[in-house]
Amino acid sequence: MVKKYNEEFKHDALKLASEIGVRKAGEKLNVSTKTLYAWQRAERLAHGIAVKGLRPGESVEEGLRRLEKEMDELREANIILKKALGFMAGR
Q: Of 2-6, 12-16, 66-70, 76-80, give the lowest mean pLDDT range.
A: 2-6
Structural domains of the chain, count: 2
State whether 68 and 49 are in the same domain: no
Domain carrying residue 66: 59-91
State whether 1 and 43 are in the same domain: yes
- Residue 61 pLDDT > 80, yes or no? yes
State whether 4 and 43 are in the same domain: yes
Cβ atoms 70, 44 nearer than 8 A: no
Helix 22-29 crosses helix 7-20 at what angle (to 10 degrees)? 130
Cβ atoms 27, 36 nearer than 8 A: no
Cβ atoms 22, 36 nearer than 8 A: yes
29: CATH: 1.10.10
State whether 66 and 34 are in the same domain: no
State whether 48 and 84 are in the same domain: no
The residue that leads in pLDDT, 22 or 46, is: 22
Per-residue pLDDT of 41-55, as tens digits, reads 888 877 766 666 777
